Amino acid sequence: MLKINDINVYYGNIHALKGVSLDINQGEIVTLIGANGAGKSTLLKTISGLLKPKTGEIIFENVNVAGKLPQLIVKRGISQVPEGRRVFANMTVEENLELGAYLRKDKKEIREDFDKVYQLFPRLEERRKQLSGTLSGGEQQMLAMGRALMARPRLLLLDEPSMGLAPLLVKTIFRIIEEINKTGTTILLVEQNAHMALSIADRAYVIETGKIVADGSAAELSNSDQIRKAYLGGH
């Protein structure tokens, strides 16, 4: 579904992604794990068109989308849930969700997707008239996910959805990610919480200072001594 070939991304002189290649098959949950500053968000932003790679290709469903405008990439079927949620604080839950569908025209399908999002996140329905800035961190994460789903993506990019959430909520969020995947949405999940990410993923990549240093099935990586020491607290 997605094939990234040897991309290089820079911030000025800083070489943030160094020849990164990665594949995602339709239907998978793939996780990208790595420490703070490794380049995880940079990779997601490059896929979603917020950053332009200097070289390399990003082939999504047979089309090279590298360097294309973000709204064209959303239209093609990729949406991103950004790090830190980034909900519009002064707008209601419902208005934030409507914005997620802003490139779409079919009112009936949009209505159906509102229902689907409210089924996944009953909390959001209860709070649909509430200003988003007054939601808890977990609820804002749900809203950011719901907003991305309102674009009806075939590939969903999630940037550290568990960040700053209490353990019980982290479990809920990961359960919902699995549910979203079961309804046919392919997922690229970026996480520092390697343990949780590997527990739901099919395959994983490990990134260190802008380079992919390991990849394999989630089970293989969970059992690798090197990965256990560096990312799983040595257990």
Ligand X SMILES: Nc1ncnc2c1ncn2[C@@H]1O[C@H](COP(=O)(O)OP(=O)(O)O)[C@@H](O)[C@H]1O
Interface ranges with ligand X (CB under 6 A): 11, 14, 16, 34, 36-42
104 vs 234: CA distance, rounded Å = 47
193 touches Mg ion (CB under 5 A) = no
Residue selected from 7, 24, 28, 41 as contacting Mg ion according to rule CB under 5 A: 41
Q: Which is nearer to ligand X, 38 or 135 (CB)?
A: 38
Reduced to 3 states, what is the DSSP secondary structure of residue 63? strand
- Tokens describing residue 79: 């949406």
Q: Which is nearer to ligand X, 97 or 187 (CB)?
A: 187
User: Per CB under 5 A, which region of 39-47, 115-123, 143-151, 213-221 contacts Mg ion?
Assistant: 39-47
Q: Which is nearer to Mg ion, 57 or 83 (CB)?
A: 83
Q: Which residues of 91-107 are buried (b: 16+ CB within 10 A; e: fewer)?
A: ebbbebbeebbeeeeee
User: Per CB under 5 A, which region of 26-34, 79-87, 97-105, 191-199 contacts Mg ion?
Assistant: 79-87
In the complex, what is the shortest distance from the CB of residue 24 to Mg ion, in angstroms, rounded to a whole number? 19
Residue 181 has what DSSP assignment? Answer: H
Q: Which is nearer to ligand X, 34 or 56 (CB)?
A: 34
| Nearby residues of 148 by Cβ (< 8 Å), 6 or more positions away | 79, 80, 81, 100, 156
In the complex, what is the shortest distance from the CB of residue 30 to Mg ion, in angstroms, rounded to a whole number? 16
In the complex, what is the shortest distance from the CB of residue 37 to Mg ion, in angstroms, rounded to a whole number? 8
- Residues 93/143, Cβ–Cβ less than 8 Å: yes
Checking DSSP bridges between strand 203-208 and strand 29-33, what pairing results, if any?
parallel
- Tokens describing residue 235: 């257990």
Q: Is 3 left (phi over 0), alpha (psi -120 to 50) or beta?
A: beta
In the complex, what is the shortest distance from the CB of residue 102 to Mg ion, in angstroms, rounded to a whole number? 25
In the complex, what is the shortest distance from the CB of residue 42 to ligand X, in angstroms, rounded to a whole number? 3
The binding site for Mg ion (CB under 5 A) comprises 40-41, 83
